[in-house]
Chain A
Amino acid sequence: MIVVKDLVRQFKSGDRTIKPVNGVSFELEKGSLASIVGKSGSGKSTLLSLLGALDKPTSGDVVVDGVSLAGLPDGKLTEYRRRDIGFVFQQFNLIPNLSAVDNVMLPMEFAGVRKAARLQRAKELLEQVQLDPEKHSRRTNRLSGGEQQRVAIARALANEPKLILADEPTGNLDEQTGEHIIELLSSLSRDHNTTILVVTHDRSLAQKTERCFRLQQGRLTEEVRTGSRR
């Protein structure tokens, strides 16, 4: 279970103080699939960074399975990212001179998974995200945007994290592949009890999540839904 308590993140920009996240509080049950929508610059990515321990909040706290991130040292935060978090970046953030399979193997290498095991799992994950097997060994800087997106999703799934944070995961994908990725995330949530939080502009994707939050001027509100989306 993830509990977000009055989370604030502010920056100084000259004389001004900007608060992209301003007193955000919410709870997510384990295995839930949720989305955050909002305009560009509304603080969606910043909120995701705070939840993924890529950044530290100015105030407030994120509690994951009873553990407060605010009190953790850098080493523990790294361990948290390695073990519990799967991040899908909007810009993919793959290592350009490594192959697709090597990129997917990286988080497993950091987690100490044996080479043969991580190679097998990396290939399975790339197949799950429907990347052509011929492109598994290709450097990611020679893949298309959609292919890189799929590699990024596969990498996020590598260590079977508790929480997947995805920033526009279908933004670069065609409709059919996008549908497949949404189905993949839904099945992870449903079958593996993985909590998934997706930031998106795609209303159709947001409609398919159990809960949908709207972030506006740093404040989060939940849209009221009717019926189950599972």
Chain B
Amino acid sequence: MSVLARSVGNAFRNKIRTAAVVAVLAVAIGLALAMLVANQAVGAKVQELNASVGTTLTVNPAGGQGFEGGGEPLTTAEAETAASVANVTAVVGTKALRLQTSTGSTTGTTQQVGPGGGFGPGGQQATVSTNLTAAVDAGTLGNRNNASGSTGTTTQPARTLPITATGIGAEVDSTGKALDITSGTGLGDYSASEAKALVGTSLAEKNNLTVGSTFTIQDKTFTVAGIFDAGTTFGNNAVYVTLPEAQTLAETPDELSTMIVTVNSMENVDSTKNAVQDALGTTKADVTQGQRNLETAVSSLDSVKNISLIAFIAALATAGIIILLIMVMLVRERRREIGVLKAIGARNRTIGLQFVLESLVLVALGSVVGAVIASLASGGIASALIGSNTTTTAATTTQRGGGLAGAMPNGAVPGGGVPGGGFPGAGGQGGPFGGASQLLTSVTASVSPGVLAAGIAAVFAVAIIGALVPALLTARIRPIEVLRGE
């Protein structure tokens, strides 16, 4: 019989005790693994937050945001200036348009119309005609907004809401977030003027559009290259074209509605914001950042990560102490056996190996059951940790996200309730702010093989030490002391 076979046999000498030991170990190991998984999941989410919205700045024309304010439009030259600032890794320009469904009397010219003119304020956005129908009905909010600016006694005709069209310089939405294209492809070269478009899912459904279908903007035929899902009803009532194409449609070839500036790390956001502001000038551009609020969110996630790490270490230490105590008990019970093995010529390392293997058998069983427990419990534990630690932060960020829309005066927005940051070009703050709580609570824990292996390896390492120490301490004494003691 080999040492391994002997150790496995020894592990099951007392089946009831073995079952109890395995159960206790399984709980400790399961908790340790669940905490490790939660730690990894939160860590990944922190990275995702940092990578997605945590390091972007939004540049608007000084004194203007979306439909509000005034000032001079941004230009491609200013985008190049921003790109040359230290720590800036990318600058994406956007050009916003409003598409109004053609009623048959379209003039075919671009309109810059103000409040009371039927399309709401013009601001930086050009209004052009299209054969598309908006996927969002005007409803109470849309008609109320439409009524603003009138005498209040005149009955306004039922109206069709405009569609948001944005020219983009990269495959991102107006807040800098990567587009989720559910069918078809992107637009390819976003720096070229091409008659291709990406259409939101609800707009495509409303107009029976699929990849390859065509529609018109300002009498120009566009082919649907892809369909995207923005995740919101408002966001899916939109069209994206390449930046040059939007500039051509708006007849403002050099103008940008907004710029999304990406900074190389969160630590550099503050300094880079100031540098971009200085480079563009305070009279030319307003630079805003979502990072400061997200810092709070990330900080909260980091604390959850730390809590889960501490809990992992504590659970691991508990598992180690359990193993140590069990092995101390087993070794004490079998001191005579150790003495006999020594008397017939067993080396200390052979005795140590036998007890280590015996403890590993127990730990292996505990790990299997613990891994099952972890796979069932880790999601719930991660959600519980996130939920209890981010309630305040999430509430704050959500309120801020909604605040931009709420701050807009009645009648300013031509259409039904704009969630979060309103139309693209409204500062780009609504997206990151409003999405922060969603990002925080969307931490999903899953047991990856690597994490599982690392956790179990740590438990096994503790088990080896826990078994080796008492076994070797006993093996070092003279055999007769053990045999005589019995």
Contacts and interface: CB of A to CB of B under 8 A. Distances in A.
Interface stretch (A73-81, A142-150, A184-192, A220-228): A73-81
The secondary structure that dominates the B interface is: helix
Contacts of A110: 344-347, 350
A93 B336 contact: yes
Interface stretch (A24-32, A35-43, A100-108, A123-131): A100-108
A95 interface: yes
A55 interface: yes
A180 interface: no
A52 B343 contact: yes
| Interface range on chain B (Cβ under 8 Å from partner) | 20 to 34
Contacts of A56: 478
A109 B348 CA distance: 14
Interface string B321-340: 00000000000000011011
A89 to B, nearest CB: 8
Interface in B1-33: 1-3, 6, 9-10, 13
Contacts of A102: 1, 6
Contacts of A74: 348, 476
A75 B343 contact: no
A82 B344 contact: yes
B348 to A, nearest CB: 8
A85 B345 CA distance: 9
A105 to B, nearest CB: 7
Contacts of B13: 97
A106 B344 contact: yes
Q: Which of A52, A81, A85 has the most CB of B within 10 A?
A: A81
B479 interface: yes
Nearest to B10: A97
A85 B340 CA distance: 13
A199 B292 CA distance: 87
A211 interface: no
A6 B340 CA distance: 27
B345 A107 contact: yes
Given A78-B347, A98-B9, 11 more contacts: A54-B343, A54-B483, A81-B343, A87-B343, A93-B340, A97-B10, A98-B1, A102-B6, A106-B344, A109-B2, A109-B3
Interface of A: 49, 52, 54-56, 74-75, 78-79, 81-83, 85, 87, 89, 93-95, 97-98, 102, 105-107, 109-111, 115, 155, 159
19 contacts: A49-B480, A52-B343, A74-B348, A75-B347, A78-B342, A81-B342, A82-B346, A93-B336, A93-B339, A93-B340, A95-B341, A98-B1, A102-B6, A106-B346, A107-B345, A109-B1, A109-B2, A115-B2, A159-B345
